Chain A
Amino acid sequence: MLSFLGFSTLDGFVDAAIPPAIRSRKPLNLPPALSETESLARLAGLAAKNKLFRSFIGMGFSDCVVPPVLQRNIIENPCWYTAYTPYQAEIAQGRLEVLRLFQLMVMDLTGMDVANASLLDEATACAEAMTLSWNAAGQPADKAFFISDGCHPQNIAVVQTRAKSLGIRTVTADESAADLGKGFFGVLVQYPMTDGRVADYRPLCEAAHRHGVLVTAAADILGLTLLKAPGEFGADIAVGSTQRFGLPMGFGGPAAAYMAVREALKRLMPGRIVAVSKDSSGRPALRLALQTREQHIRREKATSNICTAQVLTAVVAAFYAAYHGPEGLKRISSRVHGLACRLAAGLKALGWRVPDEPFFDTVRVEGDPSVVSRAFDAALAKRMNLRRLSDGVLTIALDETTGEADLEDLLEAFADGKPLLDIASAHVHSRIPEPLRRTSPFLADPAFTTNHSETEMMRYIKRLEARDLTLATAMIPLGSCTMKLNAASMMMPITWPGFAKPHPFAPKDQVKGTLALVKDLEKWLCEITGFAAFSFQPNAGSQGEYSGLLVIRRHHERSGEGQRRVCLIPRSAHGTNPASAAMAGMTIVTVECAPGGDIDLADLKAKAAEHSQDLACLMVTYPSTHGVFEEGIKDICRIVHSHGGLVYMDGANMNALVGLCRPAELGADVCHLNLHKTFGMPHGGGGPGMGPIGVTRKLVDLLPNDPLAPAARPDASGPTAASAFSSASILPISWAYIAQMGGPGLKAATETAILNANYVAKKLEGHYATLFRGRGGFVAHECILDLRPLKDSADVTVDDAAKRLMDYGFHAPTVSWPIPGTMMVEPTESEPKVELDRFIEAMVMIRGEAQDIAEGRADKADNPLKNAPHTCSAVTADRWERRYSRQAAAFPTAATRRAKFWPHCGRIDNVFGDRNFVIRPKDSGQECC
């Protein structure tokens, strides 16, 4: 490959391709690379340092039994975790079907009309509900958002951060005593409350609706199987976490949050929504609907900056519901509730004060503070964590894993030596009174009622799995997404109990292993980027942008320059950038690009000067979104700094920099890293990811603070996720990635990624022009291929080519971004030459197929490109009336004859689907296609 590009060594090639001015002089100073075995052993040691106490802390995190059939076939299965976001719907029908089930599950349990396909965590979902309510009310300047003080503290903290950045006033108080009059646009309540109480919110909803105030209920997903649904008591929006549906607490995550709304609010809802359309043969088929709400289209006017959310974890939750079914879920929740009732009775019998209030799984117990402390310590001595709600008040939250022995241990801790009553045989009444009880049915769709045995479940999973093209099938050359290998040895530790089990709010001395791992990772990422510190709170790249921009705003406020709110964003930026800036309360000013793709320096200078007094920052992606190492990056940073602004670097393209350049040395002040792109985490089919942010020294104390202790660092920019390290349980993946690669390995990976991209670009020369090139005619780690000439000569669109790639067994590269009519190819370092050649062959043949149309050898309308993709049933039908052969349709290459991946659907009609929005078709129960 090197000699094809005219080089004899990798170093020589890299020296030619990368501007010397941006190269870092200091090689990476990282520990020597570990073997897979050594890495696993070291991680096992760290996992062993975490103490696995039984958790009764609750607060939105509850342990559960991960069904082994799901652990083996989903969580540990690359056919699920290596998939990309299902934009190419024809080869993603498996995941789309499960996400549709996730939405149905949420719609049923919450009693709402429309649910989305997941959000990042419950706390950010609460914040999204606030902005949704605010937008529905027309962003009123004179109205506030009411937060019930019965909400989980992390939810309150994250909502307050978001409100502050948007200039929304919040009031946090007892909602039962509040006058929800004209002064509010929305209200947030917790269901059940953080202290375990279940309130009847019907009167609150009625009062709120009299004044046009929207009600959001943050509801416990398991509790909803026994409790009246939010949609039934009058809520307009429901949010919550689905963690206890099949995932461990993971010291904070990842897990899917949900959001569901009434029909009238659906176009204001953030996040992906899966809905039904039809394919070219008229059969129902699934795809992402109503995408014009989203940041990649609406930019700063989007409903939210959320992109990818929590697909893999949503898949687990939906399958958990399908595996247990409505009856099974009710059995689990009834059992948990029964145990809680018996615990309450037992505590009462021991003389403790247990308020006589409705509850689901969380028992509140009160007493003299010193006696209460003794009980808390006695529980700790039995390796049980309780929650100290306030002086003299404890809560005990039970879950699916709680057993009789736990109940006895708990009562013993509270007995203080007194003999226990025989609670096993005690008969207790439900603590959910009639009006609060759920009576409506849920999960009636056949998917939820027919897969309760492991045999059926396993086959159901496999049947859906076969519809999706993942890295287990072929390379996924998505530009800007870095679909590299997710090595098995790096994935294995995440399901180890040591990392998976801890509660996010467990005492710090019980999680020394994870904290040590986070510290290592922070040190290594600082070495790689040149920054002084990292925060692991942002649980997605978009969250990193938002959190980083808040740090920048906070910096200016602290310097007495709170008026600095202007955010310069190049026209070529990813849509998430302006969406995040809008969320951070910034004013967006667009900087033009020069014809070559680089930032137009003259325009940047002019706009920075024009806003010299109110410039907050520039958001810049490096290498650029055009896949080029801009030579002027240091000048760009200098210009912004000279006008008092900071530089936010979008780290989406970090895979082209590791070991060669450091963002901080280029001039960046803040940068997020997508651990799911550059640092080995899988994409999960659209999440979970992680977007930690690095900052220079002067910004360190402004990094997001702990949502449970926001007052501890008053200077900080505010919590932006539900727990300090958000999706902490997947951090071992990036730890292992760096540990196994070592400094030289990381550098070689970057160089190989750049080599692969240039190899593809050069091989395709003469077939497709590469639109942007940097120094020496080279691209960075990705190349943008121009397919617009095909449109002119043969009326073949870039979408036709993308769908045709499916017939060749490939997932299309990034389509029509950043330039319409193009494909952005990022092969990554993981792909061997043979796979690159197979892709190149497919692209060359597609060019030939277009040429056939242009030169009249193929029909303009009836050709393999316009009819792509070709399904098995279309190709094997008794009648074949196309003007080309079945072989040409489905087996155009030797590679496809050796191993064929069949697209599950024909071309999907997006227009039909968006004009006829349906999640649950009338003849519900049939799988799509």
Chain B
Amino acid sequence: MAKPEACRYAKSHEWVCLEGGTAAVGVSDYAQGEMTDVVYVDLPKVGRKVKLGESCGTVESVKAAFEFYSPVSGEVVAVNEALAKDPALVNRSPFVDGWFFKVKPDNPKESESLMDHAAYQEFLKTPAAHGSH
């Protein structure tokens, strides 16, 4: 599954990880910490076409709801059913068990426009990283 170092990141703190022909997506460790205890994740349906930057889901904690913006364009081919039973996976394992969904990307090169791990770590040190989601 996704290794943080191998992922690309959006400024809204989603990650995307290309593996074979599919791209897995989720939220970063920083994002799950800001969200606090996740109680529900609303995911797009399999078959839906999503676009980079499009709002396509919601993550809810007890006190807040966060939009999930797709970090990749393409067709949703799988969603993480385990999140329905155990939404805390997002907090416990944001990169492995807490992935959101998988996409057959329209353009595998698209993610190059996003930050790599090192750039994202630098981004987290800037004020722009906070309060944008």
A residues near B (Cβ < 8 Å) are 267, 290-292, 297-298, 301, 910-911, 914-915
Contacts and interface: CB of A to CB of B under 8 A. Distances in A.
A911 B91 CA distance: 13
A915 B65 contact: no
Contacts of A292: 39-40, 60-65
B65 A911 contact: no
Contacts of A298: 65
B54 interface: no
B74 interface: no
Given A911-B61, A914-B40, A915-B88, 6 more contacts: A290-B40, A297-B63, A910-B62, A911-B37, A914-B60, A915-B37
A297 B87 CA distance: 19
Nearest to B60: A292
Interface string B24-53: 000000000000010110100000000000
Contacts of A291: 62-63
A459 B123 CA distance: 62
A486 B62 CA distance: 33
B54 to A, nearest CB: 14
A290 B65 CA distance: 11
Contact of A911 (B42, B62, B64): B62
A915 B39 contact: yes
B84 to A, nearest CB: 11
Contacts of A297: 63-65
Nearest 8 interchain pairs by C-beta: A914-B39, A911-B37, A292-B60, A292-B65, A910-B62, A915-B39, A914-B62, A911-B62
A212 to B, nearest CB: 13
A590 to B, nearest CB: 14
A267 B40 contact: yes
A911 B39 contact: yes
A267 B64 contact: no
19 contacts: A267-B42, A290-B40, A291-B62, A291-B63, A292-B40, A292-B60, A292-B61, A292-B64, A297-B64, A297-B65, A298-B65, A910-B62, A911-B61, A911-B62, A914-B39, A914-B40, A914-B62, A915-B37, A915-B88
Interface in B40-90: 40, 42, 60-65, 87-88
B79 to A, nearest CB: 16
A795 B84 CA distance: 32
Contacts of A267: 40, 42
Nearest to B36: A911
Contacts of B40: 267, 290, 292, 914-915
Contacts of B63: 291-292, 297
B87 A915 contact: yes
A297 B62 CA distance: 10
A298 B60 CA distance: 10
Contacts of A290: 40
B131 to A, nearest CB: 11
Nearest to B59: A292
Contacts of A915: 37, 39-40, 87-88
Nearest to A287: B62
Nearest to B87: A915
Contacts of B87: 915
Contacts of B37: 911, 915
B68 to A, nearest CB: 13
A911 B61 CA distance: 8
Nearest to B64: A297
Q: Which interface residue of B39, B60, B61 has the most chain A CB atoms within 10 A?
A: B39
Q: Which interface residue of B40, B42, B61, B62 has the most chain A CB atoms within 10 A?
A: B62
A298 B64 CA distance: 8
Contacts of B88: 915
A290 B87 CA distance: 14
A795 B64 CA distance: 21
Nearest to B85: A915
A139 B2 CA distance: 35
Interface in B88-123: 88
Nearest to B86: A915
Contacts of B60: 292, 914
Contacts of A910: 62
Contacts of A301: 65
A800 B60 CA distance: 22
B64 to A, nearest CB: 6
Contacts of B62: 291-292, 910-911, 914
A265 to B, nearest CB: 13
Contacts of A911: 37, 39, 61-62
Q: Which interface residue of A290, A292, A297, A298 has the most chain B CB atoms within 10 A?
A: A292
Nearest to A302: B65
Nearest to A820: B63
A298 B61 CA distance: 12
A267 B60 CA distance: 11
A579 to B, nearest CB: 13
Contacts of B42: 267
A878 B44 CA distance: 53
A297 B65 CA distance: 7
A910 B37 CA distance: 10
A290 B42 CA distance: 13
A324 to B, nearest CB: 37
A910 B60 CA distance: 13
Nearest to B55: A301
A873 B66 CA distance: 39
Contacts of A914: 39-40, 60, 62
B63 to A, nearest CB: 7
A330 B37 CA distance: 45
A290 B40 CA distance: 9
Contacts of B65: 292, 297-298, 301
A797 to B, nearest CB: 12
A297 B60 CA distance: 10
B1 to A, nearest CB: 23
A914 B38 CA distance: 9
A702 B64 CA distance: 37
Nearest to A911: B37
A287 to B, nearest CB: 10
A285 to B, nearest CB: 15
Nearest to B62: A910
Nearest to B65: A292
B122 to A, nearest CB: 26
A911 B40 CA distance: 10
A652 to B, nearest CB: 22
B113 to A, nearest CB: 27
B92 to A, nearest CB: 13
A267 B62 CA distance: 13
A915 B36 CA distance: 13
Q: Which interface residue of A290, A298, A914 has the most chain B CB atoms within 10 A?
A: A914
A922 B60 CA distance: 26
B98 to A, nearest CB: 14
A910 to B, nearest CB: 4
Nearest to B67: A301
A152 B71 CA distance: 49
A385 B104 CA distance: 67
B37 to A, nearest CB: 4
B71 to A, nearest CB: 21
Contacts of B64: 292, 297
A914 B40 CA distance: 8
B133 to A, nearest CB: 14
A301 B88 CA distance: 24
Q: Which interface residue of A267, A301, A911 has the most chain B CB atoms within 10 A?
A: A911
A911 to B, nearest CB: 4
A292 B64 CA distance: 6
Contacts of B39: 292, 911, 914-915
A291 B64 CA distance: 8
A915 B42 CA distance: 13
B65 to A, nearest CB: 4
